Amino acid sequence: MLKLPPLSLYIHIPWCVQKCPYCDFNSHTLKGEIPQREYVEHLLQDLDHDVALIGDRSVKTIFIGGGTPSLLSAESMQMLMDGVRQRVNLDLQAEITMEANPGTVEAERFSGYQAAGINRISIGVQSFGDDKLIALGRIHGPQEAKRAAKLATELHLRSFNLDLMHGLPSQTRDEGLSDLRQAIELSPPHLSWYQLTIEPNTQFGSRPPTLPDDDTLWDIYSQGHQLLTAAGYQQYETSAYAKPGYQCQHNLNYWRFGDYLGIGCGAHGKVTCTDGRILRTIKTKHPRGYMEGRYLQQSYNVAAEDLPFEYFMNRFRLLEAMPRNEFSDYTGLPESTVRAALDDALQKGYITETEHEWQITEHGKLFLNSLLELFLGEE
């Protein structure tokens, strides 16, 4: 019998003012007004279909992502959150995060989001350099980003996050570290600090910009990591740093192989069923089809032979030790099914093992793909 892990809810808002050239998320450039009320109604109908999968399980975290969720009015957000509360058993202490673009953050609207139940915001800053923001296709400037962070501080939310990128087109080491210092000065409880990657099916994918060389990337990362550590931030995931007690609980649930419902255009879900199946769902990607009521694009049960890779692909993103018993609890497989791969990982120095825990090593972090490949095709 599988143990049921914690449960989260992801809600996708697909529209943006303009599509960023590096973005491969399911987002659509806004043409005219967002059909806000209609889309919220569809989100709630989508959720009506999914609640049958979870029974009376409580939802521990909600994450509203996009696109640009802060394009929704406070009234639409209130309607959405009221509808969610009517349909699921929402934990009284639930962390409820919303992504926001600094160019769409307004004080009046944000207090309205807070009244609707939003207690954590994630602000997409990306850089404090005017030229870098233009290159990234962002619609805000450095001062708007700083104003949004100041507003988040003044609202006394449970927490807020700044998203910051490094390895930007033509970025020097000093520029990358200057961005990070400016972010640290704003004192966010949480910082997502990740390297720009060029993805296929994006503008950058078809016309790649000139990126910093490997030595510059390493200098930015290694010196930036020291800056963050000195400022009291702890790295707990590959690209995430937090002050003690401020880790993103929603993302932690993803990486710990927790369950989550996904509603909205292109949203993914993972649900452990009481009969032992692990079900994955994918929702219709394009708003047109979604808003015709065709919510579910695909659902399938994860095959037993794929579970080890899926479990460790998530778990090894985190730097914390992982309880050995959770592998069997959350996959239903005995540890013996991955014993050979674990022994190989131990021999290569990718992980350490104690009676109760496994932990990825510094060496393992550098060779994460090689580590994960050991768990492919396990029988």
Which pLDDT score, from 0 to 100, does residue 204 have?
72
Give the mean model confidence (pLDDT) for residues 99-123: 86
Indicate whether 224 and 335 sit together in one domain. Answer: no
291 part of a folded domain: no
175 part of a folded domain: yes
Indicate whether 241 and 326 sit together in one domain. Answer: no
Domain boundaries, position 362: 304-379
316 part of a folded domain: yes
Indicate whether 337 and 224 sit together in one domain. Answer: no
Decide if pLDDT at 135 tops 90: no
* Domain termination residue (choose one: 212, 227, 253): 253
349 part of a folded domain: yes
Which pLDDT score, from 0 to 100, does residue 136 have?
79
Give the mean model confidence (pLDDT) for residues 9-20: 85
Determine whether 198 is exposed, middle or buried from the number of CB atoms within 10 Å of its CB (0-12, 13-18, 19+): middle
Which pLDDT score, from 0 to 100, does residue 33 have?
84
Which pLDDT score, from 0 to 100, does residue 239 have?
94
Indicate whether 52 and 126 sit together in one domain. Answer: yes
Indicate whether 93 and 34 sit together in one domain. Answer: yes
Place of tokens 């507003």: 151
Which pLDDT score, from 0 to 100, does residue 134 have?
84
The enclosing domain of 89 has a CATH number of: 3.20.20.70
* Domain termination residue (choose one: 193, 228, 253): 253
Percentage of residues of the chain with pLDDT beyond 90: 79
Q: 274 or 191: which carries more pLDDT confidence?
A: 191
Identify the CA nearest to 61 among candidates 25, 92, 40: 92
Indicate whether 245 and 312 sit together in one domain. Answer: no
The enclosing domain of 322 has a CATH number of: 1.10.10.920
Indicate whether 99 and 218 sit together in one domain. Answer: yes
**Residue 232 Cα distances to 154, 245, 265, angstroms:** 21, 12, 38
117 part of a folded domain: yes
164 part of a folded domain: yes
Indicate whether 50 and 148 sit together in one domain. Answer: yes
Split at pLDDT 50, 70, 90, the class of 164 is very high
**Residue 4 Cα distances to 64, 65, 320, angstroms:** 23, 25, 21
Decide if pLDDT at 21 tops 70: no
- Give the lowest-confidence range in 4-8, 101-105, 152-156: 101-105
Q: H or E element: which one contains 190?
A: strand 190-195
Token pair recorded at residue 186: 């704003």
Which pLDDT score, from 0 to 100, does residue 378 have?
43
Indicate whether 27 and 86 sit together in one domain. Answer: yes
180 part of a folded domain: yes
Give the mean model confidence (pLDDT) for residues 310-336: 96
- Per residue, the 3-state secondary structure of 7-38, as one string, reads EEEEEEECEECCCCCCCCCCCEECCCCCCHHH
- What's the structural domain count of the chain? 2
Categorise residue 264: left if φ over 0, alpha if ψ from -120 to 50, beta otherwise: left
Decide if pLDDT at 242 tops 70: yes
Indicate whether 325 and 191 sit together in one domain. Answer: no
Alpha helices in 6-123 (DSSP H): 36-50, 74-87, 107-116
Indicate whether 55 and 134 sit together in one domain. Answer: yes
* Domain termination residue (choose one: 214, 234, 253): 253
Which pLDDT score, from 0 to 100, does residue 289 have?
96
285 part of a folded domain: no
CA distance 123 to 354: 39
Indicate whether 217 and 331 sit together in one domain. Answer: no
Give the mean model confidence (pLDDT) for residues 335-358: 98
Which pLDDT score, from 0 to 100, does residue 1 have?
65
On whether the CB atoms of residues 227 and 181 are closer than 8 A, the answer is yes
Split at pLDDT 50, 70, 90, the class of 319 is very high
Which pLDDT score, from 0 to 100, does residue 272 have?
97
Give the mean model confidence (pLDDT) for residues 212-230: 96
